[in-house]
Structure formats: C-alpha cells, structure tokens
C-alpha cells in the first residue's frame, strides 16, 4: 500500500492536531523521512480550527430568570448607563449644548442634537432591553445571566449592548467611550 493511501486511514488527528502514536509508527515504516516530517504537522485548516475552538468569544444564551431578577439586572444596567451618559453629556455638551441624557419610567433618552436620539428601555414581558439607535436602528437585547451580559443576536451576528454603545457613541463624541452597565456594588 502506498504512503499516500496509508495517510488517510492511519493518521487521523487527535484533539491537539497531532497523529496518534500507532499511526506515526506505521507512517515511519511506509513513508520517506521528509514526507513523514510534513505529515506529522497539523494541516493549516486544523490549526485554524484548533485556534478558533480555544479563542472564540463565549456564546451567549438568554437566561430564564424570575421577573425580580430581570428587573434587578435591567435596572442596574440602565441606572449605571444613565449615570455614565449624564457625565458624558456634561463633559461633552456639543456646540449648542444640545446633548442630554434623561431617564424616566424605565425609558432612557439620549438626545445628541444632529446625531439623533437614542431610546433605551426595559421590555418586561420579553425580559429584554430595547434600543433604538439613529445609527444602527432598533435592536432587542436579551440577558445572559451566566456572563452578566445584555446581547443581541440575529442572522449569525452577535453584539453586546456595551460594544454597540461604545462603538457608536465614540464616533458621535469623537473620543473613546466605554459605557458602564454594571454600576457600583
């Protein structure tokens, strides 16, 4: 049997992308030394798969929480966000003092003059936080209690509420913005 035909049968990669010991012995007998050195290395696709398996972002899952837990998580996020945005708009009021953050009855309005208005609100029946952005449009964020993250997922795209606001508001304010959704404990 030729070495090329032996390779697919005996040299299957283990979890680290290396050949099993018995397969290495069989390959050593069947293949020249140069070919064996190449065959024992993981293929590029295996390297990429291994890298992505160990360095991927966590997969977020909407948690089933009690109404009390939902309200606590949503209130904590919106209260911390309101405090942060009030300070941000005070420090960067805009040319005509048109920037303002206001939170009332579970609805946060962030008015940014010509840049538009963000509306962020609780949606208790769905246990979500809804965002209306003048830049990216409407999004509905679910809560992952395991990671403590509000996230949006649609058609293979995943973003967190923090990532989206950091990115969009950094552009509007022309400075690095890192919103706070945790607050002080």
Residue 71 has pLDDT above 90, yes or no: yes
> How confident is residue 69, by pLDDT bands cut at 50, 70 and 90?
very high
**SS3 state of residue 172:** helix
Please give the C-alpha separations between residue 145 and each of 64, 72, 82, 127, 148, in angstroms, as whole numbers.
8, 11, 21, 12, 5
Distance CA 150, CA 62 (A): 9
Say which DSSP state 183 is in: -
Q: What average pLDDT does this structure show over 140-154?
A: 94
| Domain coordinates in residue numbering, the chain | 3-54, 67-173
> How confident is residue 155, by pLDDT bands cut at 50, 70 and 90?
confident
In CATH, 67-173 is 3.20.20.105: no
Predicted pLDDT of residue 27: 45
Distance CA 95, CA 173 (A): 11
* Dihedral class, residue 99 (left if φ above 0, else alpha if ψ from -120 to 50, else beta): beta
Higher pLDDT, 157 or 52: 157
> How confident is residue 57, by pLDDT bands cut at 50, 70 and 90?
low
Residue given tokens 């109404």 in the structure block: 67
Question: Which of 60, 94, 91, 65 shows the shortest CA–CA distance to 162?
Answer: 60
- Percent of the chain whose predicted confidence (pLDDT) is above 90: 55
Whether 84 contacts 180, CB under 8 Å = yes
Q: What average pLDDT does this structure show over 59-76?
A: 93
Residue 132 has pLDDT above 90, yes or no: yes
DSSP one-letter string for 4-31: HHHHHHH--B-TTSPBPHHHHHHHHHHS
């Amino acid at each position: 049997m030729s070495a090329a035909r032996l390779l697919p049968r005996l040299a299957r990669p283990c979890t680290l992308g290396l050949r099993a010991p018995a397969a290495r012995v069989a390959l050593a007998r069947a293949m020249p030394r140069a070919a064996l050195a190449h065959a024992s290395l993981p293929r590029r696709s295996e390297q990429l798969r291994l890298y992505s398996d160990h360095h991927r972002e966590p997969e977020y899952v909407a948690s089933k929480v009690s109404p009390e837990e939902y309200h606590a998580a949503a209130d904590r996020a919106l209260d911390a966000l309101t405090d942060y945005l009030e300070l941000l708009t005070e420090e960067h009021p805009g040319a005509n003092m048109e920037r303002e953050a206001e939170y009332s009855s579970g609805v946060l309005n962030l008015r940014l003059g010509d840049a538009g208005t963000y509306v962020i609100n609780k949606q208790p029946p769905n246990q979500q936080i809804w965002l209306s952005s003048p830049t990216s449009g409407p999004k509905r964020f679910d809560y992952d209690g395991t990671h403590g993250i509000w996230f949006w997922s649609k058609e293979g795209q995943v973003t967190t509420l923090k990532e989206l606001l950091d990115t969009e508001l950094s552009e509007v304010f022309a400075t690095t913005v890192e919103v706070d959704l945790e607050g002080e404990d």
